[in-house]
């Protein structure tokens, strides 16, 4: 359930503009995986009197691999070679954390105790009860006070990152247009169908006779819609068991491939707009779908894409500002290399 425990800290506490980027994540440099470092653990570098150990780098590499795998941003081969491919990113993340933590101290920043408590509560909520949470901590060799310290470090780093980003100007309309024009493939939209549905549920254990009766009811509803005795929307409000959508006349909005059960999807995308599908059976019951209109594949208009582009450019600017700030901080301190890149690669060769 824990893999490793500090991954949860990254998931809960990563400052959102930097989420998913090594330079923006804050890790606890004294205990990246919140595990006790063995006495024989080798030191990789020293920064501001703090040692970054081989185990901490490996734990951070695992965190990077975990997040990249979850976001489908790394291939299986890359993950197999993670200890060499992600080594520099992991080490830079740990060094950056020490620098940011030191800057937070120089700025007299203090982590909000209420936020620490809330983050800890959020982590505990992932477990059925307190006993299992404590058991998980023990399994990782973690004390709860160590976890609180790690959360505090993350929050302090976040405060520094926010200060770095607070005066950045927003992207201009020209910059947004330029990005839109240069990346047309990023704004491709697949064909969509505007649909509405009437669903009649079949209870588990229903007899063939009961199932046939429910199907016959939906066939009669379809016939009444076809003869214009009732509109599809009226029938959905009155008869559909899908209460989440029945109040809207069964309207499901525009759907893409992959958003519906496969048998429904196949029929929907084979049905002409303005038509009704045949009665469809799935494991949950019987369905009648109205295909209202078709939206062909194409490029999303700039007006629609603009919020997404604005957010992306803002995140990119914050990442660049953070990288520049950290590079400046590095020039002001001594970073003592204890384990060379060559030695690391010998100890952790590519597979």
Q: What is the pLDDT of residue 30?
A: 44
For the chain, give the percent of residues with pLDDT over 90.
73
The residue among 69 and 312 whose pLDDT is bigger is: 312
The residue among 10 and 259 whose pLDDT is bigger is: 259
Closest CA to 335 of 344, 348, 324, 326: 326
Closest CA to 45 of 346, 305, 351, 333: 333
Nearby residues of 322 by Cβ (< 8 Å), 6 or more positions away = 18, 23, 24, 161, 164, 165
Q: What is the pLDDT of residue 81?
A: 87
If you average pLDDT over residues 258-282, what whole number do you get? 92
If you average pLDDT over residues 100-123, what whole number do you get? 94
Q: Is 161 helix (H, G, I), strand (E, B) or coil?
A: helix
- For residue range 183-223, list pLDDT tens digits in order: 999 999 999 999 999 999 999 889 999 999 999 999 999 99
- Distance (Å) of CA 100 to CA 155, 157, 182: 11, 6, 35
If you average pLDDT over residues 336-340, what whole number do you get? 94
**Contact predicate 105/153, CB 8 Å:** no
pLDDT band at 350 (very low <50, low <70, confident <90, very high): confident
Structure tokens at 245: 């959508």
The residue among 30 and 235 whose pLDDT is bigger is: 235
Nearby residues of 120 by Cβ (< 8 Å), 6 or more positions away = 144, 147, 148, 151
Q: What is the pLDDT of residue 4?
A: 33
User: What residues does 68 pair with on adjacent strands?
Assistant: none
Nearby residues of 226 by Cβ (< 8 Å), 6 or more positions away = 276
The residue among 341 and 75 whose pLDDT is bigger is: 341
Q: Is 175 helix (H, G, I), strand (E, B) or coil?
A: helix
If you average pLDDT over residues 70-78, what whole number do you get? 80
At residue 301, φ and ψ (nearest 5 deg) are -60, 155
**Contact predicate 240/200, CB 8 Å:** yes
Q: What is the pLDDT of residue 40?
A: 58
Nearby residues of 317 by Cβ (< 8 Å), 6 or more positions away = 165, 168, 171
How far apart are the C-alpha atoms of 90 and 66, rounded to whole Å?
13
Angle of the 232-239 helix axis to the 208-226 helix axis, nearest 10: 150
Q: What is the pLDDT of residue 6?
A: 39
Q: What is the pLDDT of residue 88?
A: 92
- For residue range 278-312, list pLDDT tens digits in order: 999 998 999 999 999 999 999 999 999 999 999 99
Per-chain mean pLDDT for the chain: 86
- For residue range 11-44, list pLDDT tens digits in order: 333 333 233 333 344 555 444 433 333 445 899 9
For the chain, give the percent of residues with pLDDT over 70.
89
Q: What is the pLDDT of residue 304?
A: 94
């Amino acid at each position: 359930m824990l893999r490793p425990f500090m991954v949860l800290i990254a998931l809960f506490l990563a400052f959102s503009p930097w989420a998913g980027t090594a330079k923006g994540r804050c890790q606890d440099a004294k205990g990246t995986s919140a595990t006790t470092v063995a006495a024989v653990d080798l030191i990789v570098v020293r920064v501001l009197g703090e040692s970054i150990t081989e185990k901490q780098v490996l734990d951070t590499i695992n965190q990077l691999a975990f997040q990249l795998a979850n976001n489908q941003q790394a291939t299986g081969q890359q993950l197999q070679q993670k200890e060499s491919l992600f080594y520099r990113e992991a080490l830079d993340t740990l060094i950056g954390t020490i620098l940011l933590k030191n800057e937070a101290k120089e700025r007299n920043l203090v982590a909000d105790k209420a936020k620490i408590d809330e983050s800890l509560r959020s982590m505990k909520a992932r477990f059925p009860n307190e006993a299992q949470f404590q058991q998980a901590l023990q399994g990782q060799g973690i004390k709860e006070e160590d976890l609180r310290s790690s959360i505090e470090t993350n929050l302090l780093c976040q405060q520094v990152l926010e200060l770095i980003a607070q005066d950045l100007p927003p992207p201009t309309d020209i910059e947004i247009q330029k990005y839109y024009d240069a990346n047309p493939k990023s704004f491709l939209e697949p064909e969509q169908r505007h649909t509405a549905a009437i669903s009649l549920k079949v209870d588990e254990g229903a007899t063939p006779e009961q199932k046939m009766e429910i199907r016959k009811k939906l066939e009669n509803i379809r016939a009444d819609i076809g003869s214009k005795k009732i509109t599809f929307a009226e029938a959905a409000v009155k008869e559909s068991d899908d209460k989440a959508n029945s109040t809207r006349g069964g309207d499901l909005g525009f759907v893409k491939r992959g958003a519906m059960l496969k048998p429904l999807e196949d029929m929907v995308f084979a049905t002409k707009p303005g038509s009704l599908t045949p009665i469809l059976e799935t494991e949950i019951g019987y369905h009648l779908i109205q295909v209202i209109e078709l939206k062909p594949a194409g490029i999303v208009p700039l007006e629609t894409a603009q919020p997404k582009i604005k957010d992306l450019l803002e995140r990119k600017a914050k990442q660049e500002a953070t990288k520049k700030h950290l590079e400046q901080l590095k020039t002001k301190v001594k970073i003592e290399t204890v384990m060379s890149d060559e030695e690391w690669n010998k100890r952790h060769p590519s597979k």
